[in-house]
Amino acid sequence: MNKEIISTEKAPAAIGPYSQGVKVGNLLFISGQIPIDPATGNVVEGDVQAQTKQSIKNLQGICEAAGASLKDIVKTTVFVNDMNQFAKVNETYGEFFKEEAPARACVEVSCLPKNVMVEIEAIVLVK
């Protein structure tokens, strides 16, 4: 199987030696997305819900660049810097994944890049 690098301006550019996404066969592996607005390159202002929304929008941009959508996500991992914020993260996450939600893990970590509150990575089935 060939490996295809997925890159789009609809998500923040990689700031290190990694790709926004890598497609192998019909699977797309999306690197962790933090709440950076791709238009400005800045972390979005606001609470954990605003940051969750932007992180998911970034996932959406990468999905679309690979010919998929959020509905095609089969697994996410959500990293939060404070598990006490999980209910708010979950509320916003649920706005995007209403039916047939992907499998998910949520992990509290001590620190995330740029001191954001949330980061989300995904595995996507590209049809």
Task: Considering the candidates 22, 44, 70, 106, report the single residue annotated as catalytic.
Answer: 106
Q: Are 21 and 28 in contact (CB under 8 A)?
A: yes
Who's near 49: CB < 8 A, 6+ residues apart?
88, 89, 91, 92
User: Which one, of 55, 16, 23, lies nearest residue 38 by Cα?
Assistant: 55
Catalytic residue list contains 111: no
Catalogue the active-site residues. Answer: 106
